[in-house]
Structure 1
Amino acid sequence: MYVLECVDGSLYTGYAVDVQARLAVHNAGRGAKYTRARLPVSLLAFAEFPTKHDAMHAEYVFKQLTRNEKDALLARASHSSLAEALAELLG
C-alpha cells in the first residue's frame, strides 16, 4: 500500500507489488485517472503487507480517514513506518 502526494497537495492511495515501478507509471501519465490530472506525484509513504487482501484492507481503512487524520498518521509514519502507524488502526 502506498500514499502519493499530488502536485495540488491532494493525496492518492493505492496498492502495488512494486511501489517504485507503480510510481514511475503514475508519473508517466499512465497511472490512475486521478493522478494523470495532478502530475507530478511523489511518494510520501508505503507499507508492505503479507497478502493483497491485507494491503487492500489497509488502503480502505486509510481512505476512510479525514484529511487531518491522514496527515497525523503520515506524521507518525515519518518517525517509524507507515505499517507501524497503520497497525493501530487495523487492530
Structure 2
Amino acid sequence: MFFVYILSCSDKTLYTGITNNLKSRLDFHNTGKASKYTRSRLPVKYVYIEEAGEKGSALSREIQIKKLSRKKKLELIKNSTNFFKEFTSNI
C-alpha cells in the first residue's frame, strides 16, 4: 500500500511525495535524508495523506497534486477526511 502525502515545511511551503511507510518517511525528512528540498526547511509535518494503492497509482496522483496551485493544494488539505487524522495520530 502506497500513500501520497503533503508536508508543511517550516517556511510554510508545501512538499508532495509518496511512500509506503509513513512513519519512516517523515523521520527521513526530519533528519534531512529524504529530500534536498525539505532538508533546508525543517522541521516538516504531514498536513495531508491519501491512500493510493500501488506505486504506479501513487506516482500518478503525486504528479496530479504537484500540478495544482498552492490555493488548490490548501483546499485539498482543508477538505481532507478523518483518514488523515487517524494516520497522524498513530505516527
**TM-score, reference length from structure 1:** 0.83
Which stretches of structure 1, 4 residues or longer, exceed 3 Å deviation after superposition? 79-82
* Match among 30, 33, 43 for residue 33 of structure 2: 30
1:6 aligned residue:
9
Letter in 1 for 2:64: V
Q: Alignment RMSD, CA only?
A: 1.3
Q: Distance in 2 between matches of 1:73 and 1:30?
A: 27
Any idea what the Cα deviations from partners look like across 1:53-88, whole Å, max 9, x if unmatched? Answer: 1001110000111000111111111x4557xxxxxx
Q: Distance in 2 between matches of 1:12 and 1:3?
A: 5
> Whose strand fraction is larger, Structure 1's or Structure 2's?
2
Task: Measure how far apart 1:48 and its partner are.
Answer: 1.6
Q: Distance in 2 between matches of 1:72 and 1:8?
A: 19
Whether 2:47 is the aligned partner of 1:44: answer yes
1:7-86 correspondence runs (5 A): 7-77=10-80, 79-81=81-83
Identical-pair percentage: 37
